[in-house]
Homo-oligomer: A and B are copies of this chain.
Amino acid sequence: MVEIRTPIQIGEAVEKVMKFARFGEVEEIKLEQAYGRYLCEDLIADHDVPHFDRSGYDGFAICSKDSLTASSHEPVVFEVIEEIGAGYVGTKEVKPFQAVRIMTGAQMPDLCDTVVLLELTREFEQDGKKYMAIERSYQAGDNVTFRGEDVKKGNILVPNGTYINPGVQALLATFGYNQVKVVKKPLIGIYATGTELLDVHEELEPGKIRNSNAPMLHAQIERVGAIPYYFGKLADNFEDCYKAISNAINQVDLLITTGGVSVGDFDYLPAIYEKLGARVLFNKIAMRPGSVTTVAELNGKLLFGISGNPSACYVGFELFVRPIVKTFFGSKKPHLKKASAILQADFPTPISFTRLVRGYMSFTENGLEVIPVGFDKSSMVSTLATANSLIILPGGQRGFKTGSSVDVLLLDDAEGSEWPW
């Protein structure tokens, strides 16, 4: 029997799913494991940075006003009274026309406000004393970073929910976060359905194909920062399917089934959702590929029934699962980032449902350009390897011409967006 399915718009579908987005739990890990995770606490400065006036270069600390008359014709000479290595502190008072040899990063002596680069001085000794001469004037602050100039103590430097990139990692180290509170990685279960599916190691048979969606989802789940768990293939009868899925739900944070949710007689999922008492949020979206995408909710836990078609599976994950995982991590920009690009091909065919066409976007002299990476029959897995974007071709149009401006969703972007729809 054909079930009646009413398609809803993509934005509406995302909205329905996002109502069940929730934050994850905290776990504490060591700093050296923090790269690629998400902060579960604000990163706060425990001290001014620098917490002392700091030399930016190797050279001589002086008082800038002593340099005012210096020129190549009339160099100004300073007596060098001591040396300060990085990590050490000066011991002598610096008087007019005295200088202190100082290393990059070392604490400035009191009264000095300028560092003259070593290369710009001439050093000499006379009567057992050290001197250096300069041939130009300096202003207060030249080559010095003043206390608190970079960061003030108590400032929130990086908010809760931020992705820990190398820069954040450096900040965590600077402020003594030897242990870091991060969001636990959610566990995402995968079930593949379909009697046509062979395992990767199996030989091909007539009518059958190897299961590529589960490995693809596995990688997509890793890319988004979660932990994939592949349960295997679902059995071919209702009772076993039902048992498998109701068991799986309790073991994971969310569950994806791929395949078997098309409009077909062999699809047990609607009945399984019903028997589980899960509420179906929608079962059809006005988009291609992936129109037959079902999302259900059971006690706040989401069950994604994604089409077995590789493109639809890929797109379904990125549009619906990705923002749930990113929100779990506390990201304020959980969705794919949208940009405008110039289309480099014609789409002469009128389309009814919005199409998401795999594209390759590049930066050119004319700005962003995007070209489709295949005819985009939705079964074509090969083009997924080179796509770095999804071209959005809104439904209800008569076609698109080379040179049109189109919206694209960026697949490799790290930052994300608040709401691209």
Contact = CB atoms under 8 A, between A and B. Distances in A.
A374 to B, nearest CB: 8
A178 B166 contact: no
A86 interface: yes
A209 B88 contact: no
B382 A212 contact: no
Majority secondary structure of chain A interface residues (helix, strand, loop or mixed)? loop
Contacts of A307: 104
Max count, chain B CB within 10 A of own CB: residue among A119, A218, A385: A385
Copies in the complex: 2
B204 A167 contact: no
A296 interface: no
Interface string A136-175: 0000000001000111000001100010111111111111
Contact of A222 (B35, B84, B167): B35
A220 interface: yes
Given A47-B204, A85-B266, A157-B382, 17 more contacts: A34-B219, A51-B209, A57-B262, A86-B266, A87-B194, A89-B207, A105-B194, A105-B308, A105-B309, A162-B385, A167-B383, A167-B384, A169-B215, A171-B212, A173-B210, A173-B212, A367-B368
Interface of A: 2, 31-32, 34-36, 47, 49-52, 54, 56-58, 83-89, 101, 103-107, 118-119, 123, 145, 149-151, 157-158, 162, 164-178, 194-197, 200-202, 204, 206-220, 222-223, 230, 259, 262-266, 307-310, 314, 337-340, 363, 365, 367-368, 377-388, 412-415
